[in-house]
Structure 1
């Protein structure tokens, strides 16, 4: 069949405006380049089959202009090859949409991508016809002149050629979307990397017979750079395996998917590549030896960022089945998953390969290919186990939420708490429904008693589940705080070992009650005493600046005698900063002092007495502070040494602390004769930690005990 010169080629039975609309622009910006490059490879392969001594060659030229800021603007891109060219037969195929006759299983949709990205694609091709050589020139576009003639191809000419050679030169011009910066930044080096990654499967399988591939970058027609793709650039296949994946079908009762006896064989080729070349581990399906970018299949065996022997792994899966499943939008595979069945069990009526099964089979094979990966998975499971223990997550967490090896700890927790929030919402909704039904119960009805019992049973089921979830988060947080307490006490934090001055006391103080704050309810004072978080109080403020209920607690009407005492012997007593003051109720005050774990506590036994005396004598009358409770906390505590300093301290046997039942706090000046009393404990940080752990572990045992386990007396 001969094609007339200067004519638009209109496909029989094809409405091209509809085709342009239906075949979407590929999300892969370089797709037109890949399509043209694939065509060149195929044209060379055909000629190689005709001539065993033939050596193929592909040249790609990128043309750019340079801007004043040294950036580039794309002008055009040209791909040439010395393949068979477009004879009448090949040209007819090119213009036949959804042509299935070509041996390479092309679908005739590649040229649609040309029109989506470029205003004009110019093709000049030399071919051999019955011993003579001819040259054909044609253009591809979707502009108005073409579509109004129901065409995307304009056949300019087909004439005899004096040159005794074949080949094709394809030129992309007029980038339609100027925001696609990948073309403006394209050069010989970046395109080489893109082609290597895209065609790695093809290159590896044809490593010994690759055509010569040259890529050049021109700026204002001056050659700026040159790259080649040769045998030395092609990585070798590290390992290979074949897996059989059975077809699936809907069961006879239409309630499930079952496997059949029929199967397809899939080949997995793995490449161990330097991490500088391959930025992350990946699993890709391939079609016709090209990597499919638009279809996701999960690599479950290895996280994307895991590095083994300074390398990342690329696993490429190929099969005749995948080649056949490629749609008319190149790289868009038609493979269903289990979700489709869940939404519509009648979606397919014949046997199909299910993506979920394919994914599992491939990942299972990958595990066996590399023992290192199995070890990494074991570590992942151990990390997950530790995470469950740390946050008191359920043992069957894997069943409740879908966990990927790529999920960070944060992502796993987000998934769990999202699932928990949904459960809580459902529980709240059920509780609300029950309460609303209570409002409509008729006490005069015959079944009132039974209906009431049913609602009560529903409510008593819901409330414990709500409480358990809330308590679990509460206890898990406390568990983490105690872990941090232990790390500080054992000097395991990096900040404690960076060579700077010792800050152990400040770290412990801030853990229990942040310095310069006034919110005990947001603190972790429960480590000392559960009740302390419910009192009003503050941490690390000068006595002279402390306010209680908006009013300064130090009197403003100090006498000259009082002022003289406050500042006597250079003490400036009201500038002192108690670590923590709490006010449980009128007339009472709790004073807490922390000491560095390396400091002997015995030398500081009088510090709390001093604070209590100042508060007793100089606080405003309305506070009436007469009863004080002191807690002196450190780690370097020798009981006999404490009693040497003050024999009124007693050992609290079996509880590992010392206490002084009562100490008189002198009432002076205006308070003369109105003494106060002070109860004091001297306790180790490690003792507080052990006590708090024991209290928290009681809750943990209750929470983690199986629902069906019988109650026990402990």
Structure 2
């Protein structure tokens, strides 16, 4: 069949304006370049079958202009090859949409991508015809002049020429979307990298007969750079395996999917590549020896960022089945999954390969290919186990955890799942309460119906409480872990060479300095009740307020003021670590000492604070009863008693206490003494006590069931 010169080529029964609309622009910006490069590879392979001594070559030239800011603007891209050329047979195939006759299983949609990205694609091709050579020139575009002729191809000429070999020059001109910055930044190095990654399967399988591939970058027609793709650039296949994947079909009862005896063979080729070249581990399907970018398949046993022997792994899957399943938009595979069946059991009546089975079988093979992956998976499972133990996460959760999930993502999945369960519990509880309103006390089954509703409510409430309590206890568990790290000087900040700040770290852990929110503190470490009292952390006595009123009197007498400054300092500028006010007339004073400091040297400190509060607080406070807690780690019981024999050993609980010490009432309070109860206790003792209390809750929570309340 001969094509007339200067004519638009329209296909029988093809409405090109509709085709342009139906075949979407690829999300891969370099797709038209890949399509043209693939055509060149195929043209060379055809010629190789005709001449065994033939050596193919492909030349890619990128043309740019340079801007005043040294950036580039794309002008055109040219791909040349010495393949078979566009004879009448190949040109007819090129212009036949959805042509299936070509041995490489192309669908004729590649040229649609040319039109989506470039205003005009120029093709000049030399081919052999009955012993002589001819040259065909044609253009591809979707501009209005073409579409009004129901065409995307204009055949300019086909003339006889004097030549010695065939070949094709394809030129992309007029970038349609100027925001496609990849073209403006494209050079020989970037395109070489992209081609290596895209065609790694093809290059590896044809390593010994690879065409000579040259890529050049020109700026204002001056060559800026040149790269080649040669045998030395192609990695070798590290390992390979074949996997048998059975077809599936809908069961006879239409209630599920079953495997059949028929199967396809899928080949896994793995490449161990330097992490600088391959940025992350990946699993990709391939079609016609090209990597398919727009189809996701999960790599289940190796996270994307995991590095083994300074390398990342690329697993490429090939099969005749995948080549056959490629759709009109090259790289868009049509492989169903179980979700499709769930939504519509009648979606397919023929045997098909199911994605989930394909993914599971391939990952199983990969898992067995590399012992290192098995070790990584074991570590991953251990990390999840530790995370569950740390946050008291339920073991029976049905959430799916990916090897790529971060700790944050895993926790989000667990908490989202728990939130759904809680919502369901609340809904069930609400329904039960609403049904109570409908009960008829005069009906015969009233008693039985009431008992049923009560039983439902009794089952729901403990489950709700368990979820809330689990988060509460898990948080406390983490706080105690941090407490232990500080006490054992395991934090980075404690070992960076700066001054010792252990006391501040412990203080802030228990009750943040310069704050008043006891309910958000961790004072429960000392005593569970303390989080319910009003209080303040690290503040001058003179600045402390209680219920909006300053607790230090303003009407101080001359004698009182002289006492306050008698030793050259303002006693009211002292800063107790923590003051708590449980009720009228009572005050709790807590003092922290650095773990390296001897607590015995500070036994009078709390008494001094109590004396100031007793004598200078406002009458409304009526502070007469004080409780003191002196907390440190360097405590020798006999040393404490040597300083003050009123302290007693609490042998069973590893602390010392002084039942009472008189706090002098002076000045206006003369004769109205107060009393101070004091404990001297180690941080490690507080930690052990708090752990024991928390572990009681953990043991109850980790039981299979919580008994319903009586």
TM-score range, shorter chain: over 0.9
Pick aligned residue for 2:475 from 460, 474, 477: 477
Which residue of structure 2 aligns with residue 79 of structure 1? 79
Deviation track 1:514-543 (CA, whole Å, cap 9, x = no partner) reads: 001010000000000000000000100010
Paired residues of 2:462 and 2:706 also in contact (CA < 8 A) = no
Which residue of structure 1 aligns with residue 337 of structure 2? 337
Which residue of structure 2 aligns with residue 285 of structure 1? 285
Deviation track 1:641-667 (CA, whole Å, cap 9, x = no partner) reads: 111111111111211111111110000
Q: 2 CA distance for matches of 1:157 and 1:433?
A: 80
Q: 2 CA distance for matches of 1:77 and 1:424?
A: 59
Map of 1:118-517 to 2, 5 A cutoff? 118-397=118-397, 400-517=398-515
Q: 2 CA distance for matches of 1:254 and 1:619?
A: 82
**Matched residue of 2:347: which SS?**
coil
Shift of residue 396, structure 1, vs aligned partner: 2.8
Q: 1 CA distance for matches of 2:452 and 2:20?
A: 63
Map of 1:548-563 to 2, 5 A cutoff? 548-563=546-561
Shift of residue 149, structure 1, vs aligned partner: 1.1
Q: How many residue pairs were aligned?
A: 709
Pick aligned residue for 2:627 from 626, 629, 651: 629
Which residue of structure 2 aligns with residue 529 of structure 1? 527
**Matched residue of 2:106: which SS?**
coil
Paired residues of 2:588 and 2:627 also in contact (CA < 8 A) = yes
Map of 1:514-663 to 2, 5 A cutoff? 514-663=512-661
Q: 2 CA distance for matches of 1:126 and 1:434?
A: 83
Q: 2 CA distance for matches of 1:500 and 1:668?
A: 44
Deviation track 1:395-424 (CA, whole Å, cap 9, x = no partner) reads: 233xx1010000011110011111111111
Q: 1 CA distance for matches of 2:96 and 2:306?
A: 46
State the TM-score, normalizing by the size of structure 2. Answer: 0.99
Q: 1 CA distance for matches of 2:358 and 2:396?
A: 25
Q: 2 CA distance for matches of 1:573 and 1:709?
A: 56
Shift of residue 162, structure 1, vs aligned partner: 1.4
Which has the higher mean CA deviation after the structures are superposed, 482-491 or 436-445? 436-445
State the TM-score, normalizing by the size of structure 1. Answer: 0.98
Q: 2 CA distance for matches of 1:533 and 1:22?
A: 66
**Matched residue of 2:493: which SS?**
helix
**Matched residue of 2:626: which SS?**
strand
Q: 1 CA distance for matches of 2:445 and 2:230?
A: 87
Q: 1 CA distance for matches of 2:700 and 2:69?
A: 68
Which residue of structure 2 aligns with residue 116 of structure 1? 116
Q: 2 CA distance for matches of 1:438 and 1:289?
A: 67
Deviation track 1:137-194 (CA, whole Å, cap 9, x = no partner) reads: 0011111111111111111100011122210000111111111111111110000000
Which residue of structure 1 aligns with residue 679 of structure 2? 681
Deviation track 1:422-454 (CA, whole Å, cap 9, x = no partner) reads: 111111122222222222323333332222222
Map of 1:685-704 to 2, 5 A cutoff? 685-704=683-702
Deviation track 1:559-579 (CA, whole Å, cap 9, x = no partner) reads: 111111011111321111000
Shift of residue 345, structure 1, vs aligned partner: 1.6
**Matched residue of 1:259: which SS?**
strand
**Matched residue of 2:696: which SS?**
helix
Deviation track 1:600-624 (CA, whole Å, cap 9, x = no partner) reads: 1111000000000000000011000
Shift of residue 710, structure 1, vs aligned partner: 13
**Matched residue of 2:63: which SS?**
strand
**Matched residue of 1:317: which SS?**
strand
Deviation track 1:46-74 (CA, whole Å, cap 9, x = no partner) reads: 11111111110100111111111111111
Q: 2 CA distance for matches of 1:346 and 1:525?
A: 62
Deviation track 1:223-256 (CA, whole Å, cap 9, x = no partner) reads: 1111110011111111111111111111122112
Residue 31 (1) aligns with residue 31 (2): yes
Paired residues of 2:503 and 2:594 also in contact (CA < 8 A) = yes
Q: 1 CA distance for matches of 2:547 and 2:341?
A: 64
Deviation track 1:24-52 (CA, whole Å, cap 9, x = no partner) reads: 11110100000000000000001111111
Q: 1 CA distance for matches of 2:517 and 2:95?
A: 77
Shift of residue 708, structure 1, vs aligned partner: 8.6
Shift of residue 461, structure 1, vs aligned partner: 1.4
Q: Unaligned 5+ residue runs, structure 2? A: none
Q: 2 CA distance for matches of 1:709 and 1:365?
A: 46
Which residue of structure 1 aligns with residue 106 of structure 2? 106
RMSD of Structure 2 on Structure 1 (CA)? 1.2
Deviation track 1:335-385 (CA, whole Å, cap 9, x = no partner) reads: 111111111122111111111111111111111111011111111011111
Q: Unaligned 5+ residue runs, structure 1? A: none
Deviation track 1:191-243 (CA, whole Å, cap 9, x = no partner) reads: 00000000000000001111010101111111111111001111111111111
Deviation track 1:272-310 (CA, whole Å, cap 9, x = no partner) reads: 000000000000000000000000000001000000111
Pick aligned residue for 1:664 from 657, 662, 666: 662
Which residue of structure 1 aligns with residue 53 of structure 2? 53
Paired residues of 2:302 and 2:377 also in contact (CA < 8 A) = yes
Q: 2 CA distance for matches of 1:436 and 1:71?
A: 70
Q: 2 CA distance for matches of 1:513 and 1:334?
A: 60
